[in-house]
Structure 1
Amino acid sequence: MRDEKKINQETKMLFSFVYEPFMAAKIGADHLELVYANHKLLELLSCQDDQELANYLQSNFWQSLAKKVADQLKEKGSANLCKLLLTDQAGKKKLLNLTVKEAEVGEEKVQLFYLRPFSLPKDRVTGLLDLHSFKEVALSQIKELAKAGQQVCLISFDLVGMKEYNNKFGYQKGDDLLHFVGQTIKDCFGEFASTRAVEDRFYAFGSVEGLEEQLRKLADQIKTRREVRIGVRKFVYGQDDFTAALNQARIAGESLDNPNESGVVYYDDRMSRKFQMQEYLLSHLDEALEKGWIQVYYQPVVRTLSRKVCNLEALSRWIDP
């Protein structure tokens, strides 16, 4: 690796005009060799110096990234990777856009990496990602986890009696509670794996491994302020619909026997059949009315004193062909 002091004056001047996080490197067959990095890149990736950055670039993530970049450079002459989620040297996840170009520097061909932090819309009260951004980032992460052979679950969190809490303590206290719950979930699953969807409902995703213990501890923390119903739905990338799976996680949480107490429920085949039936009824109601599938039957009501029919009770039956 070359030290910045050894780079000729012309190259220094070239790099000095780059104000965004930047590095020059050479992509080898099985490695990424650092040539130059500016201070903004060191700060962005939480590296103390060039040597620490050079070691960091030998991680599996950067090696696989180098291959993607090399393929795009070969095909298009430049590389663009958007909303790239990486873990910096300090273990913090960051979302970045990466642009890579090729250039001649000192009669050598090098690749120029421009990294730009990418900001996503966030919820005003909790600071978590909004639901749309969560879906987008989650699917990207889950795809990589699936490639690594990891199973993933989608998780729904529903606070109990939030309307009552707001009426009793006021909306400012309610927002404080939502912020506490949001931060607790984020601390457990990460900034890019959690969201506040609407009102008092949150979603997250996580690896199946160790999830049960994670949720137990998380529920205990949230219960110090409010009861929480948690629903879990296993998710298979490329096979399950993300939005439907989130909804099914919500349904699982709402199926708790006591709706006013905390608990964790996993979505199963029984709930799946019930959910499919509900979806069928809702989506075919107009058709059923139009085609006469819903028929009215009259049940006589007999008065016990006179033993005579005193009324009729109308019952609707859905007779599906």
Structure 2
Amino acid sequence: MPKQNERKLPYIEPTIRTIIGVYVTACGILFYLHPDQRWIWIFLLAFAGVNLLISAATGFCIIEKSLKLLRFRSELDEITELNKARAAAEARADYLNTLSLFDEVVIELSLRGCIVQVSDCWGKLLGGSAGLITGQPDTCLADYLERDDRPLLEEGLAKLRGGEQDTVSVRFRLQRQDGGESWVEGRFTLHRQEGRIQGIRGVLRDITESYLQEKRITQMALHDALTGLPNRILLEDRMDRAICQARRMSQRVALMFVDLDNFKQVNDVYGHKAGDQLLLAVTKCLQESLRESDTLARWGGDEFVILVPEADNLDSVRALGERLLESVHKKLFLEDVDAYISLSIGAAMFPDDAESCEALLIQADKALFHAKSQGRNNIQLFSSLQSQGLVDKEFDLGSRLRAAVRQGQIQVHYQPLVDARSGCIQGLEALARWHDEKHGWVGPGTFVHMAECLGLIHALGQQVIEQALAQLRRWQEQGLSLRLSVNISKRQLFSPDFVHMLLRLTEQHAIQPRQLTLEVTESLAMQDAGQAAACLAELSKAGFVISLDDFGTGYSALSHLHEMPVNELKIDLSFVRRIKTAGGRSMVQSIADMGHALGLCLVAEGVEDGESAQILREIGVEVLQGYYFGRPMPAAACHDWILQRNCVRRESTEPLGGQPTSASNNLRSAMG
């Protein structure tokens, strides 16, 4: 054994040295005893021979010792390498065990993308066991991906192999063994050893929760919370893309502004929950009529926008709009909401009407404005309106009306209400008038409807009431005792603070509520008879006089009239104009008889000649109004007119009918 030789080797050299010493000593003694020179040569030759033998023996021992040392060193190196390899394996195992504590998967791939080794978290990520795929050199990572995501991974690994990138990051979906899917972010790099590429190493991280959260945030940022439709941001992005493609392909793009008619009425009467239900129903109805390539977006409130890429022509856009109108009319029905729902649509076309997204939106909005002004429930195309010179004028008029209402430029004119028997002034009706510097006098039939479409009717109505009450106070201070009639819009009637506002204004101007007659159109009162009756009862209880205007145009009122706390009926001018005919007189007579039976006062408007006034007197109508007696006049002119007549009925501050209907009296009693 090597260790035994190592123990003998240290005694060889001292022994040789001892022999040489003894030999040299003996030679010296002989030389001293025998000084004869020949002995000297004998000894020298003998010494050289012995020295040679000793050197050879010593060299042999040294060589043998060196060889044994080399063999021992080689064995030591082998043992050291084995220990290093064992330590590296243990360190690698410890490293992998440490990695298993994390939720990330460490994976080693071949250059072809096949799985060589993975950490234990692979099983958790895959919803199974890691052992299922180890030992299978032909199993590629791409086999576990969703089919649509595999090209992304292959492209990333190809960039690594080609040296285009040092690291790549790829997002993909793994097919889990439990049937689900995991969103994974993988980061990969090349594995080199001694400068040579050995394979690909990477880290896989489960990002399912963060991806879904990111998706939810994106959904919230780009979609409407209620309907789930694209919002303005996403719509404008799609518009940009559609217009860019249309420019390249020489195509057209249509944009349609859709407004839901009577939506504010549903919100005010039935509440916001019903309004939300209505918006969802409209959304579903519109989506069913559109192509997959079309985009339906919610612009805000009750407005929608439809983007139609690759539109054919104006006729196809008009046909689509009419199809949408018909679809809503036929399909839309809300439980517990008795309201007529319709759409107003304005459309514009790229590049015929505009060259940019912003301009296209403006033109479509102008067309929508015209559709509303035409009575709603219709579609208007910007191109058709522009050829008639209508769009710019109406849009400009709407903008100027906004400014006029905001700056308090709406005027109030007054038309006399005359006692049919005495001819004395019974009261005055306050009527809104608007004079614009650019367009001159604008008729109430135009700007009142426009104010309703623009959402200005509440502010406009309040301005009229405030001006009229202030003027009534001035007349009262001048000794004129008059009763004032004002028209009430549906938004005012159903406003929760309307009664409080009226009481505050009458108190501010020292006017008694009984001096103020509130005229509500029959159609408005019948839109929701129950709600209207409750609102009118509250106004009547507060002391205001209630007049049902335009009576006779809606026959549904006859069945609900006895439930309304009404003091007077105002016969519509369409009947008054036919009063000279047998049929017209018969109709007015029937209305008068019914009103008198209910204890109501009858007022006829639109009286333009003496003959009509005489027939109405004979029928029994108490109050007359029309051009025959006086046109609507500014306050100063009306004051002069009153002074010229010098006939103001002293009891004019009392309700014309004296008392509300019997049914309304019962309703008042029930309310305490």
**What TM-score do you get using the length of structure 1 for normalisation?**
0.50
Q: Secondary structure at the match of 1:174?
A: helix
Q: Does 1:24 align with 2:151?
A: yes
Q: Name 2:142's counterpart in structure 1.
A: 15
Q: Does 1:154 align with 2:255?
A: yes
8 Å CA contact 1:129–1:192 kept in 2: the answer is no
User: Structure 1 residues 189, 244: CA separation in 2 closer, same or farther (over 3 Å shift)?
Assistant: farther
User: Structure 1 residues 228, 234: CA separation in 2 closer, same or farther (over 3 Å shift)?
Assistant: same
Q: Name 2:347's counterpart in structure 1.
A: 232
Q: Name 2:296's counterpart in structure 1.
A: 194
Could you list the runs of 5+ residues in structure 1 that have no partner in the other structure? 1-6, 26-34, 38-75, 78-102, 104-115, 283-293, 308-321
User: Structure 1 residues 208, 199: CA separation in 2 closer, same or farther (over 3 Å shift)?
Assistant: same
8 Å CA contact 1:138–1:192 kept in 2: the answer is no
Partner amino acid, structure 1, of 2:142: F
Report the alpha carbon displacement of residue 203 of structure 1 after superposing the two structures with TM. Answer: 0.5
Q: Name 1:221's counterpart in structure 2.
A: 327
Q: Secondary structure at the match of 1:179?
A: helix
8 Å CA contact 2:348–2:360 kept in 1: the answer is yes
1: distance between equivalents of 2:238 and 2:347? Answer: 19
Render the CA deviation track for 1:184-231: whole Å, top value 9, x for unaligned.
Answer: 333314486121111100001114323222221111111243111000
1: distance between equivalents of 2:279 and 2:367? Answer: 21
1: distance between equivalents of 2:351 and 2:252? Answer: 7
Partner amino acid, structure 1, of 2:343: V
8 Å CA contact 1:126–1:183 kept in 2: the answer is no
Report the alpha carbon displacement of residue 160 of structure 1 after superposing the two structures with TM. Answer: 0.8
**What TM-score do you get using the length of structure 2 for normalisation?**
0.26
Report the alpha carbon displacement of residue 36 of structure 1 after superposing the two structures with TM. Answer: 7.6
2:317 to 197, 211, 226: 211
User: Structure 1 residues 170, 275: CA separation in 2 closer, same or farther (over 3 Å shift)?
Assistant: closer
2:279 to 171, 178, 185: 178
Partner amino acid, structure 2, of 1:198: G
Render the CA deviation track for 1:239-258: whole Å, top value 9, x for unaligned.
Answer: 62323322321221221376
Report the alpha carbon displacement of residue 237 of structure 1 after superposing the two structures with TM. Answer: 9.7
Partner amino acid, structure 1, of 2:298: R
Report the alpha carbon displacement of residue 277 of structure 1 after superposing the two structures with TM. Answer: 5.3
2: distance between equivalents of 1:235 and 1:12? Answer: 53
Q: Name 2:236's counterpart in structure 1.
A: 135
Q: Secondary structure at the match of 1:265?
A: strand
8 Å CA contact 2:113–2:141 kept in 1: the answer is no
2: distance between equivalents of 1:262 and 1:163? Answer: 15
2: distance between equivalents of 1:176 and 1:24? Answer: 44
2: distance between equivalents of 1:231 and 1:213? Answer: 13
8 Å CA contact 2:263–2:302 kept in 1: the answer is yes
- Larger Rg belongs to: 2
User: Structure 1 residues 250, 276: CA separation in 2 closer, same or farther (over 3 Å shift)?
Assistant: closer
Could you list the runs of 5+ residues in structure 2 that have no partner in the other structure? 1-111, 116-137, 156-163, 166-189, 191-210, 333-340, 402-436, 439-633, 645-672
2: distance between equivalents of 1:141 and 1:147? Answer: 10
What does residue range 44-63 of structure 1 map to in structure 2 within 5 Å? none
Render the CA deviation track for 1:149-180: whole Å, top value 9, x for unaligned.
Answer: 22111100011111111233332221111112
Render the CA deviation track for 1:74-94: whole Å, top value 9, x for unaligned.
Answer: xx99xxxxxxxxxxxxxxxxx
Partner amino acid, structure 2, of 1:217: R
1: distance between equivalents of 2:353 and 2:319? Answer: 27
Structure with bigger helix share is 2
Q: Does 1:264 align with 2:365?
A: no
Q: Name 2:48's counterpart in structure 1.
A: none
What does residue range 25-174 of structure 1 map to in structure 2 within 5 Å? 119-120=218-219, 121-174=222-275
Q: Secondary structure at the match of 2:297?
A: strand
Count of residues paired in the alignment? 205
2: distance between equivalents of 1:304 and 1:8? Answer: 100
Q: Does 1:248 align with 2:350?
A: no
CA RMSD of aligned residues (A): 4.5
User: Structure 1 residues 276, 177: CA separation in 2 closer, same or farther (over 3 Å shift)?
Assistant: closer
Structure with bigger strand share is 1
Partner amino acid, structure 1, of 2:380: V
2:393 to 264, 267, 274: 274
2: distance between equivalents of 1:146 and 1:181? Answer: 32
Report the alpha carbon displacement of residue 18 of structure 1 after superposing the two structures with TM. Answer: 5.5
User: Structure 1 residues 147, 241: CA separation in 2 closer, same or farther (over 3 Å shift)?
Assistant: closer
Q: Name 1:3's counterpart in structure 2.
A: none
